[in-house]
Each structure stands twice: as structure tokens, then as C-alpha cells.
Amino acid sequence: MNSARRLRLRIFRITVFLVMGAFFLVPIGAMFEFSTRGNSLTAPRTLDTWTAIIKVPDLVQAISVSLQLAVITSVAMLALLLPTMVWVRLRLPALRRIIEFICLLPLTVPAIALVVGMVPLYRWIKINVSESILMLAFAYLVLVLPYSYRTLDAGLASIDLKTLTEAARSLGAGWGTVMLRVVVPNMSTAILNACLLSVALVLGEFTFANLLLYENLQVAILYQSFVSAGTSIAVAVAALMFAFVLLLILSFVGRPRERVARAEEAA
């Protein structure tokens, strides 16, 4: 009976895996297939559209800008959230609910409403601060807040923050040292997760950039599709694969400490 149950579970698991796999991979496969078609149905397979990516300056520019935005957003997110969350947990526990509410708020507001609210702000920024697309990082910070908050909060909950920080302080560590040498290393997985989620979100973002009149990767893909559908699809697949690989890394980055320990035990 037990083995029958296990078999059924196994079959169920494989089925789910296959269905979900197909759900994700078929569209990507189809896109890839489309992007490698030649000019006619009978033409041989070609990677022309892929090599064309680097020949379109607008696309290259957009890719670079989106990557920069992803990095800036992640760093800003960490710099803003991590110390705040640690401080609130240690010193102002009463504020925790409020902070959580604020951080999760963007999730409940439709992107379009958010953008419309930001339009006047960005008009002002463009005139008074800078026209650089990197200013989008502010908007993206709001966008990634809920996901990063959740991830970091789970990471903080998994360590005995109070005791560890107090132990470090009793040993002579100032707050900076406490953050960098005690808190960060002990929640590296959560921090990495938060960063990867932010990167994936920023790389896939279209609405904000488009409505605020910036040309990021997704907007550039759209413009490119008017010129050459093949190339735009190739870029889209590349971006998707990039995000996919990032998320894959995320699920494989276990707790490094445990792996080290296991390796030591084996030796």
C-alpha cells in the first residue's frame, strides 16, 4: 500500500512537472523556432536574426540600459530595505506592521495607476534633475519593493537577529560591522533571492518605461518588432532565457554553509 502510494505520488509529480514544463517551454520554443526561420518557408534555418541583435544600436543600448537599471535597482533596494528592516525588527517592532503595509502597497495598486501618478513627477525630474533613463530606477524601486520585502523578511525571520547582533556588539562591533559581517552573511540566500527577483522584474518591465517615455529593453523590443519581427523575437527569447537562468540559479543556490559542512563531513 505504501509503495503504491509512493508510485502514485511519483506519477502525480512527473505529470505536474511535464505540464508546467510544457506551459513554459512551448511558447519559448515556438518563439525560438520563429526567430530562426529564414525568409520563406523553404529557406534553411538561420541565426541571422540573432546575430542581427548586436547590429542594431538601439537594441544594444536598451539591453545595456536595462542591465544597468537592474543593478541600480537591486543595490538601492538592498541599501534601503535591509538596514530599515533590521532596525525596525530590533528597535521599533511596533512599526513592523506599518512598514510591511507600505512595502506591500505597490502590489495592490495597478501598474497603470502607479504610472499615471508618477507622470507629473517624472516630468519634473526630466526638467530639473536629469533626462537619463537611469532615473527610472526610482519607479522600479517601488515596483520591486513588495517582492524584495517578502523575501528579506523571510530571511530575517530565519536567524536569531537580536541575539546575533547583541553578541556582535558585545564583541566590539559597530552597527556597520554588524550589518556587513553578521547580518548579510547569514541571510545571503535571501539577499540573493531578492536581487534576482528584482533583476527579473526590471528586465521584463514595459509599462512604466513606455508610459514615462523611456526606451528600455522591452520598449526597444516592441519598436524592433515594427522593423524586423524575427530580431525582436530573438531578443525577447534571449531576455526570457536570461531571466530563466537567473531564477534557475536562485533555486540551486542552497545554503552554502550546509554544503561546506557536508563536504567536510564527507572528507
Residue 229's contacts (CB-CB under 8 Å, 6 or more residues apart) are 34
Residues 221-260 that bind other proteins (CB under 8 A): 257, 260
3-state helix/strand/coil string of 192-216: HHHHHHHHHHHHCCCHHHHHCCCCC
3-state helix/strand/coil string of 29-40: HHHHHHHCCCCC
Residue 159 binds other proteins, judged by CB under 8 A: yes
Sole binder of other proteins in the list 164, 211, 243, 253 (CB under 8 A) = 164
**How near is the Cβ of 236 to other proteins at its closest, in Å?**
39
Residue 177 binds other proteins, judged by CB under 8 A: yes
Cell numbers for 40, please give them.
Answer: 520563406
Cell numbers for 124, please give them.
Answer: 519634473
**How near is the Cβ of 264 to other proteins at its closest, in Å?**
8
CA 244 – CA 194 distance, rounded (Å): 15
- DSSP annotation of 139 reads H
CA 25 – CA 39 distance, rounded (Å): 25
CA 167 – CA 161 distance, rounded (Å): 10
Residue 49's contacts (CB-CB under 8 Å, 6 or more residues apart) are 35, 36, 228, 230, 231, 233, 234
Which residue shows C-alpha cell 495607476?
113
CA 86 – CA 108 distance, rounded (Å): 25
Nearest residue (CB) to other proteins, 13 versus 262: 262
Residue 80 binds other proteins, judged by CB under 8 A: no
Residues 181-220 that bind other proteins (CB under 8 A): 181-182, 185-186
Sole binder of other proteins in the list 173, 179, 243, 247 (CB under 8 A) = 173
Nearest residue (CB) to other proteins, 49 versus 186: 186
**How near is the Cβ of 27 to other proteins at its closest, in Å?**
41
Sole binder of other proteins in the list 113, 167, 180, 245 (CB under 8 A) = 167
Residue 250's contacts (CB-CB under 8 Å, 6 or more residues apart) are 192, 193, 196, 197
Sole binder of other proteins in the list 169, 228, 229, 246 (CB under 8 A) = 169
Residue 261 binds other proteins, judged by CB under 8 A: yes
Nearest residue (CB) to other proteins, 20 versus 261: 261
Sole binder of other proteins in the list 85, 168, 212, 239 (CB under 8 A) = 168
**How near is the Cβ of 180 to other proteins at its closest, in Å?**
12
Nearest residue (CB) to other proteins, 131 versus 265: 265
Residue 87 binds other proteins, judged by CB under 8 A: no
CA 53 – CA 67 distance, rounded (Å): 16
**How near is the Cβ of 154 to other proteins at its closest, in Å?**
16
**In the complex, which residues of this chain contact other proteins (CB under 8 A)?**
159-160, 163-164, 166-174, 177, 181-182, 185-186, 257, 260-261, 264-265
